[in-house]
Amino acid sequence: MAKTSSSSFDPTCPLTLVYGSAATLRQRFVEQIVEQKLPEAEREWGLVILHAPEAGVEGIVGQLGSGSLMADSRVIVVREVDKLTNAAQKSLAGGLTGLSPDTTLVLDAQSSTDYRRKGPPVAAALRKILESGGQIVEASVPSDRDLPAWVADEVRARGKRMPAVVARAFVEIVGNNVEAMVNEIEKLITYVGPERNEIEVDDVQAVVIGERENTVFDLVDAIGIRDARTALSVLPDLLPASGVQGAAMPILAMIARQLRLVWQARALSAAGVNLERPGPAADQWAERLPSEHNFFDATKGRGFLVRRYSSQARSFSDVQLVKAFVKVSEADLALKGQSDERMDDRLALETLIISLCRL
């Protein structure tokens, strides 16, 4: 019977389909199978990686029927099996009966791009074989609600601890791109080093935000004076080359964070708080501010940040800030494919910048 839960994944199973939207997570399952089935010394000879559209059904079945003189066992990984036609997948299913006990087959597929289609994106005949004699494992991006817990688990697996509030802050900044999250987690682990076991909000701000913070300041400065040309010219320093999906989410989160802090600076100034020399009034306001993206926490010991937020706060009215957050929310939905108009990363951010400059 097929196993569809990653928690019940069996790396010893001779026939596995791994599918989902997260390539990094799919690759992890593949690596676990290879590590379980092949000693490192035999991987050069026993590991075969095929791309289904190039190998075709004949090439795949031919590999299943051959052996290796240099390795006792073989693992055959077939990438992009979902790119085969239904007829080809049906033919492949017919060639999977009677697999050699020394051969392990791993089929790799992305999630279906058809949102009406549920489950693994393979033909019924191939799915039937997998359900009767193998396993089907989904490797997709966790839901937005589950992302912080997933991040904390990833950190725990690397021997560190990340409290829930820190995990939520991490997700807000990085977004829901698994590849980006895995990279940033690795950077955080390296940053805290072996001396500390717990990752703190300051670590996230130093590592994940620190490299781009000044550029985001430049971007928001330009938006504040309605200079769309300059704002758009800053974008390439923040966003990788066109076509890299998911890269806009961390930048959008940083823009939202910046606007939240600008709004707090504006509200505090309007309440008579001296931001550069906060006194008793600041203590009263500190309890009313959000625990995440808190103005006083973000600027503590960094006078230059206080001055920049104060300057930016004077560039926006309350009404303009409300409209700005609406525009950020619309961009977020567009990037997640939850609006009528789906945009790629660059177009979504360019549209947002122009909209903010026209407030």
Tens-place pLDDT, residues 276-289: 776 666 667 777 78
Percent of the chain with pLDDT over 70: 87
Q: Where in the chain is the domain with CATH 1.10.8.60?
A: 147-209
Residue spans of the chain under pLDDT 50: 1-3, 5, 114-116, 242-243
pTM value surpassing 0.85: no
pLDDT of residue 12: 92
The hierarchical CATH code for the domain 213-357 is 1.20.272.10
| 135 phi-psi bin (left φ>0, alpha ψ -120 to 50, beta other) | beta
CATH architecture of 147-209: Orthogonal Bundle (1.10)
pLDDT of residue 2: 47
Q: Where are the alpha helices (DSSP H) in 49-163?
A: 52-65, 86-94, 124-133, 147-157
Give one DSSP letter per residue of 9-54, joined into a string.
--TT-SEEEEEES-HHHHHHHHHHHHHHHS-GGGHHHHEEEEEHHH
Q: Which long-range contacts (CB under 8 A, 24 or more apart) does 240-246 make?
A: 242/344, 242/345, 242/346, 243/344, 244/345, 245/177, 245/344, 245/345, 246/175, 246/176, 246/177, 246/179, 246/180, 246/345
pLDDT of residue 69: 64
pLDDT of residue 213: 57
Which run of H or E residues covers position 228? Answer: helix 228-238
Q: Where in the chain is the domain with CATH 3.40.50.300?
A: 6-138
Q: Where in the chain is the domain with CATH 1.20.272.10?
A: 213-357
pLDDT of residue 107: 95
Domain 6-138 has CATH 3.40.50.300: yes
